[in-house]
Amino acid sequence: MQAFRYLRPATVEEALGLLEEHGDKARLLAGGTDLVIELRNRWRTPEVVVDLKRIEELRPAIRVEGNRLVITAGTVMGDLEKHPMVLERFPALAEAAAVVGSVQIRNRATLAGNICNGSPAADTTPPLLVYGAEMVIASRTARGGSVVASSDSRRSTSRPSSSRACTRPRRVGPSSTSSSAGGRSS
């Protein structure tokens, strides 16, 4: 692993300033499940790692605001798979979170990291698309962050001066999805 500066901003504004200052030489750390492997294998060699865990508004939370369920950037898969509102209203998201890695990984891996990493194997992306989720992207230019539909999120989150603040699946009412366990009859 190559040496890097480790910075812990206290606010989103401070984190965005660090991203703006360091550009592509900086990497964000929330859960770190992918980043730590990339650092160890030298697939990524940032000069600066910006740890987001001290930022109050990004800390783990799942709450209802109006007709939306808000999932903050620091929320881990283990919280998603067990949360009563997610289980009741967004079962496909709960199921997707439950199959991410091992229990240890699910207790570190964040929903925002799973989305922002851009892996084709991102387990939570399909249910977020189905539920019409929106991502709030923190930005120094858009007061309150810009809202991006989940179908546009890959294109929109690659800017070095932005950071995902929360994810908002569209429905809070009863889910219209269903899942079935068991085989198909022929």
User: pLDDT, tens digit, for every residue of 94-126?
Assistant: 999 999 999 999 999 999 888 888 777 789 999
pLDDT at 76: 96
- In the block, residue with structure tokens 């650092």: 39
- In the block, residue with structure tokens 């892996």: 119
Where in the chain are the domains? 5-168
pLDDT tens-digit series, residues 143-154: 556 566 655 544
Q: What is the mean pLDDT of each run of 10 residues along the chain (186 residues)?
A: 94 92 93 92 95 93 88 94 95 96 94 85 90 83 61 44 53 36 33
DSSP state of 74: T
Q: Give 5-168's CATH code, choosing from 3.40.190.10, 3.40.50.300, 3.30.465.10, 3.90.950.20.
A: 3.30.465.10
